[in-house]
Amino acid sequence: MTLLAEFHDIACNPAAYGKKLKKAGNRKIVGYFCSYAPEELIYAAGAHPFRIFGTGENIQLADAHFQAYCCSLVRGSLEAALVGRFDFLDGVVFPHTCDSIQRLSDIWRMNVKGSFHLDVVLPVKLDTPSAKDYMTDVLTRCKSDLEVKLGTTISDENLKKALRTYNQIRKYIREIYEMKSADPDILRGADIYAIIKASMVMECDRLLTLLPLVLEELKKKNNIAEPPEGKRVILAGGICNHPDIYRIIEEAGGAVVWDDLCTGSRYFENLTEESKDPLTALALRYLTRPVCPAKHAGLFTRAEYIVKTARERNAQGVIFLFLKFCDPHSFDYPYIKEILDREGIPNIKLEVEDQLPSEGQLQTRFETFIHML
Amino acid sequence: MIGASKMGVGLCETAEGMGYSPDLCSYARSDIACATVNGGPIGGLPRPDMLVCCNNICGTVLKWYEVQARYFKVPLFILDTPFCHVGFADEAKRYVRRQLDEYILFLEKTCGRKMDNNRLKEVGKLSLEGQRLWQAVLNTTANRPAPMSAFDAFFHLALIVTLRGTRDVIDYYSQLLIKMKDRVARGKGAIPNEKYRLLWDNIPIWPRTRWLSQKFASHDACLVADTYTSAWCGTMKYIDENNFFDSMAEAYTRIYLNIGIDEMAKQVLEMIDKYQIDGIVMHSNRSCKPYSIGQYDIQKIIEKERGIPSLMIEADMVDERSFAESQVETRIDAFMEVIKQRKGR
């Protein structure tokens, strides 16, 4: 599908896209980390939200700030910033999540010059009345901070428009996921990876044009009835920055039919209620959305969610994909594994750094796992 | 205790067998394992009726207590103290304060009795008094020679950590303070011949404190202060003696590990001046990301602002598998050479 080329190009090199966007000069560009960053507020302020990923380059400059036991996301993104790959950013927003991102924020603020810095200190607990009010308070402050930093005011009208825009984008992406889940052969895993990754950096208007076209194409394809072959698996973890994983799983006889990833379904699950007060509605979405393990929304919430998703998606297995040194995911893994085992859902864990293990090794692991399903 | 009694490796390995990554915090790993085998120096802790945790030191505490709450099947209260990158926002203050009310409700429900507000005030006063005394004890090491070292502080620390708010802390530290003042008056130092004064940063390498203290003493170097033991009395300025309950929200939130790296560096600089420090020993502790990530930047700030050298020791607070003795020894020797040259022997 030629439509997909644009997503692949951008997902391959988001920074080049950001640079191009900056050159066009229409908007200020604000970088952000993680799926709890209020993109809607940035967009409503007339700026362009741009998700920051590690760039996979050799770590040199970041080694002067991070020990070897820090994850590749914090090392890679700081490295990219220090070598000037993110020079097109006018500012960066750091939502509070894990201990590593928390310190990355400090180090970034102290060492990366030329763009504004904004911490959004979200609650860690998400399931109490006080946390709910605090979440709204934090977003209210974030809104006024962005107004100051971007020298603008965010009107209620623009904010509501932003909510609608992002809801629409999330609906489209979810629909693409749904179609892939219904017929895994309709789209390669690497395509869906490219779509969602690119969506986190692309201009909304462009997405609102492209995503419906992708859906249209998929609907045409959907008529070709051939029983899908791959064993259905779910990918669960934090950030996936490795399109090759999808291909290797497919070659091993599997198909990723859904995920619980920060760079996946956690980005689009749950819409923001458009009828409510916008900030309260945004807060509510963060409180109820599938939770990141760096946050607390109950003792069994994540395991229950993964089991439910596996059942709903008719998945035969779960592949955990963690960044090495990611504490929140590593702490959750044993209990989620135990519950999956008890529920009879086969699972394996793959821990990756910036570079994947050798392809042969991955193939063998995935083949063994998938043949067992 | 597990670390100091060198039982960490075994317990950490047990946790790894349970599926916990060896990259996770060794306090968490050893405690999680300890609960299942009643291990450690005292054969495990009594079974809890409830669990209470505060994330002012790290996000790991939250995950760790979630694990334990699932294991023991008991209620868990989380005091969520928003990180203070550059300050303590009003909404964060309101949030923590409100959680204290939620905490009381949790306690009343779990314990089945009402909060005694008079008792709360009394405990608050005792807590603050304990902190003052602990700070006074630590202050004595500003003297030359220092009457005790950071290694002694690592030991005496136990009371402010586990018995804060009780009379025992006050009695113990009052006695200790008298003893230290007496040592100062007699010019008695923690090591026989104190020539160089060092500052320790990060949690101790518990299984190796004796080895480290002897190693430094052999160079006539005394670790006279540290950023760790002082953290238990570092936020007294936020506590209102007559309104402990309301003010504890701020005191718990603005502790040393819950602030920005630049703010931490500022506190280290103050300690350098106060204790007349010649060099810094930083324990790059792979178990503790909030404490360790940022040390390189603090190191640079210190070198720039005070021009004193620092040594980075890569290790772990409990898991001895991360301690390479000969490598650490070589680095300490080289570091002490630099200090000696700078001080003109």
> What CATH number does residue A14 fall under?
3.40.50.11890
Residue A161 belongs to some domain of the structure: no
Q: Which A residues 300-319 touch B at CB under 8 Å?
A: 300
Taking every pair of C-alpha atoms in chain B, what is the biggest distance, in angstroms? 66
All residues at 6 or more sequence positions from A240 whose CB lies less than 8 Å from its CB, including other chains: A193, A259, A261, A263, A264, A321
What is the tens place of the pLDDT at every residue in A139-155?
999 999 999 999 999 99
Classify strands A116-120 and B51-54 as parallel, antiparallel or unpaired. Answer: unpaired
Residue A102 lies inside a defined structural domain of this protein: yes
All residues of chain A having their beta carbon less than 8 Å from the beta carbon of residue B78 are 124-125, 296
How far is Cα B235 from Cα B231, in angstroms, rounded to an integer? Answer: 8
Say if A12 falls within a structural domain.
yes
Residue of A nearest to B15 (CA): A334
* Residue B10 structure tokens: 């075994």
Closest C-alpha among A98, A101, A108, A116 to residue A29: A116
How confident is the prediction along chain B (345 residues), in pLDDT tens digits per residue?
999 999 999 999 999 999 999 999 999 999 999 999 998 999 989 999 999 999 999 999 999 999 999 999 999 999 999 999 999 999 999 999 999 999 999 999 999 999 999 999 999 999 999 999 999 999 999 999 999 999 999 999 999 999 999 999 999 999 999 999 999 999 999 999 999 999 999 999 999 999 999 999 999 999 999 999 999 999 999 999 999 999 999 999 999 999 999 999 999 999 999 999 999 999 999 999 999 999 999 999 999 999 999 999 999 999 999 999 999 999 999 999 999 999 886
Q: Do A141 and B91 touch (CB under 8 A)?
A: yes
Region at B21 (left for phi over 0; alpha for psi -120 to 50; beta for the rest): beta
Which conformational region is residue B165 in: left (phi greater than 0), alpha (psi within -120 to 50 degrees), or beta? left
Q: How many domains does chain A have?
A: 1
* A134 within domain boundaries: yes
Helix or strand or coil: residue B139? helix
- What is the domain range of residue A67? 3-152
Residue of A22, A51, A320, A1 whose CA lies nearest to A197: A51
Residue from the list B25, B95, B292 with its beta carbon closest to the beta carbon of A134: B95
- Residue A333 falls within a domain, yes or no? no
- Collapse the DSSP code of B237 into the 3-class scheme (helix H, G, I; strand E, B; otherwise coil) and give the result: helix
Residues B151/B212, Cβ–Cβ less than 8 Å: yes
Residue A184 is assigned to a structural domain of this protein: no
Q: Is residue A56 one of the residues assigned to a domain?
A: yes
Whether the bond between B145 and the residue before it is cis, its omega within 30 degrees of 0, is yes
**Closest CA–CA distance from residue A144 to any residue of chain B (Å):** 13
Q: Whole-angstrom Cα distance, residue B64 to residue B54?
A: 11
Structural domain contains residue A199: no
- Structural tokens at position A30: 């604000």
Listed residue (B257, B216, B265) closest to B234, CA to CA: B257
Check the CA dihedral A175-A177-A182-A183 and report its sign.
Answer: positive
Reading the block at residue B226, the tokens are 């540290």
Inter-axis angle of helices A3-12 and A204-221, to 10 degrees? 130
Which of chain A's residues have a Cβ under 8 Å away from the Cβ of B86?
A: 119
